[in-house]
Amino acid sequence: MAELRVLNKEKKSSTVQDSAALTTQLAAGLEKIGLAMKSRTWRREGRAGLGPLQRQVLTLLQSKPEQRARVSTVANELAVRLPTASEVIATLERKQLVRRRHDMTDRRVVVAQLTAKGNRACTPTSRMPDRLATATEALSEPEQVVLLTSLVKMIRSLQEQGEISATRMCVSCQFFRPNQHASSDRPHHCDYLKASFGDSSLRLNCQVYEPATT
């Protein structure tokens, strides 16, 4: 009996170790993808290209009314410091993708607005690094759904830790009604679009997103 208890204890400890090893492996894998994306992007596009944060700023501005937002709003929504947001916007302005203006109602406030060139730079093909798209296409559709739902969970967790913005995602949107329908394919509901949808359609970058109040 004592032997069985020892065996069970060892088995439990090995399961815990396996799961810890898996977590470490996953974190390492994600880190590698992050590094690859960054280095590929920078290497391919060079100084004239767009870095990940620059892309995020353009995408954020595109989603705003009149494609404009205060610099402080950009900083808040992308969970970066104000000087970082100001610096990125200044770089985008030098590339003529964004223009900066003082707010008409409060001259102390600086507003960034997308230019026509900036708008063109936001097309899905220019936003998605080619190699990342190719890697994603290597997954089967069920694998893509699992990856998407897992990413949503991870991004949500990072947002709760204050490390990343979860804006423009269904899970933090006031119109999102999770698991409202009996259908296993399309259990969620969007009050804005008045449509049901499944995990594979959870949005990470919705243009009509409104933050939930709670």
User: Which residues form the interface with ligand SF4 (CB under 6 A)?
Assistant: 170, 173, 175-176, 190, 192-193, 203, 206, 208-209
Residues 100 and 14: their CA atoms lie apart, in Å, by 57
Minimum CB separation from ligand SF4 for residue 32, in Å?
29
The answer to whether the beta carbons of residues 136 and 175 sit under 8 Å apart is no
Entry field: residues in the chain? 214
Minimum CB separation from ligand SF4 for residue 174, in Å?
7
Neighbours of 194 (CB within 10 A): 8
Residue 161 token pair: 């830790």
CA dist 93 to 26, 51, 57, 112, 117, Å?
37, 14, 12, 9, 11
Minimum CB separation from ligand SF4 for residue 4, in Å?
51
Whichever of 84 and 207 has its CB closer to ligand SF4, that residue is: 207
Whichever of 121 and 166 has its CB closer to ligand SF4, that residue is: 166
Whichever of 92 and 173 has its CB closer to ligand SF4, that residue is: 173
Residue 138 token pair: 């290597």
The answer to whether the beta carbons of residues 38 and 101 sit under 8 Å apart is no
Minimum CB separation from ligand SF4 for residue 166, in Å?
10
Whichever of 41 and 197 has its CB closer to ligand SF4, that residue is: 197
Whichever of 55 and 203 has its CB closer to ligand SF4, that residue is: 203
Q: In sequence order, which ranges of the chain are alpha helices (DSSP H)?
A: 2-45, 52-63, 71-77, 82-94, 116-120, 124-127, 130-137, 141-160
Minimum CB separation from ligand SF4 for residue 78, in Å?
17
In degrees and rounded to multiples of 5, residue 22 shows phi and psi of: -65, -45
